[in-house]
Structure 1
Amino acid sequence: MNKKHFLLITIFALILYSCGLSKENKDTRKTINGTWELNDVSYEGNQGYFKSTLFNDADAKCFKGSEWFFRSNNSTGYYNIVHGECPTGQRNIRWSIQDVNGIPSQFQFKYIDEKKNDLNGGYGYVFNVSSLSQDQMKLTTDVNVDGEKVTIALQYSRKAY
């Protein structure tokens, strides 16, 4: 192999390496991998009663007890609403963890169909990973309600098998 080929292969390898996930991102994805139950939807930073529709799908109360599955090897999964008074059933998603300033701290997802095709032209949802352990996860996002910031907090626990 001549020097020119060696240099090209080295540059190509560096480009591939730089596009890879950080160790922290891989660890976060590995921790999220599996089945979770959404235990609570709460509103922080403001007083009062809130009625909200989550993910352009259903009333927030419908998500209590919903099952969420995350497969880290291909970034797909689903959530399944089981509350009887709500539009029940499984919704397929593609998810990712984004690094912010080198730290894996944002969870994103968008809807996909059974063939893993995007359903909404790339539109999705972004949450901050507020806390994450092997058994608990808290995702938060800020929304504007009548000019006031309200933080929606989703509290999950890992489902036992």
Structure 2
Amino acid sequence: MKRIFFLLLLSTAVIGCKSTSVTNTKLDNKTERMLKGNWTIASVYFSGSDYLKVNSFNLEDSSCFIGSDWSFVSNNNKGEMSLNNPSTDCKGFSSPITWYVNKDGNFVLKIINNHKAKDVNTGYILKLNNVTETSFELIDKINVAGQVKDITYTFQRQ
């Protein structure tokens, strides 16, 4: 009898524990459907953006993302992003992406860039904010002079 009680207690403890990993949570399909379509980054803002440079997504200076085009396909969580800022300091870049929105309101992004999605083991977790039919924001955390600050990417529907 003690053995059965111990197994029951052990199974309850195992079932009761769940992962709190941001990448393992359930999807927010309703929000994903709202993001479906073509978008442009209208602005990038962070405290000190007038005089500091930030390398966004390990690709380019954050200002190069203004005017970039993004497409999101909600039924397979794939898409594409393309940097096309005409500034002479910005390089063009285009890549397939995978993405999803979890129940905690986080936008999880992988930039694939000539790899299979399963082979890319780095990505970005951004806070999704102010979602409407025509706009939304992605907020990332950056380190500025030892202080954590928010960088906000504002998207507008094309």
What CA distance in whole angstroms lies between the structure 2 residues aligned with 1:47 and 1:109?
A: 23
Partner of residue 125, structure 2: 126
Give, in angstroms, the shift of residue 89 of structure 1: 3.2
Partner of residue 152, structure 2: 153
Contact 1:113 1:119 in 2 (8 A): no
Q: Secondary structure at the match of 2:30?
A: helix
RMSD of aligned alpha carbons: 2.3
Amino acid at match of 1:78: E
Partner of residue 57, structure 2: 55
If the length of structure 1 is used for normalisation, what is the TM-score? 0.74
Query: After superposition, where does 1:103-114 map in structure 2 within 5 Å?
Result: 105-113=105-113
Which of 91, 94, 103 is matched with 2:95 structurally? 91
Partner of residue 142, structure 1: 141
Amino acid at match of 1:110: K
Partner of residue 38, structure 1: 41
Give, in angstroms, the shift of residue 149 of structure 1: 2.1
Q: Secondary structure at the match of 1:31?
A: helix
Unaligned runs of 5+ in 1: 1-18
Higher strand share: 1
What CA distance in whole angstroms lies between the structure 2 residues aligned with 1:41 and 1:111?
A: 19
Partner of residue 5, structure 1: none
Aligned length: 133
Contact 2:127 2:138 in 1 (8 A): yes
The percentage of aligned residue pairs carrying the same residue is 26
Contact 2:69 2:83 in 1 (8 A): yes
Contact 1:38 1:63 in 2 (8 A): yes
What CA distance in whole angstroms lies between the structure 2 residues aligned with 1:20 and 1:143?
A: 24
Unaligned runs of 5+ in 2: 1-23
If the length of structure 2 is used for normalisation, what is the TM-score? 0.75
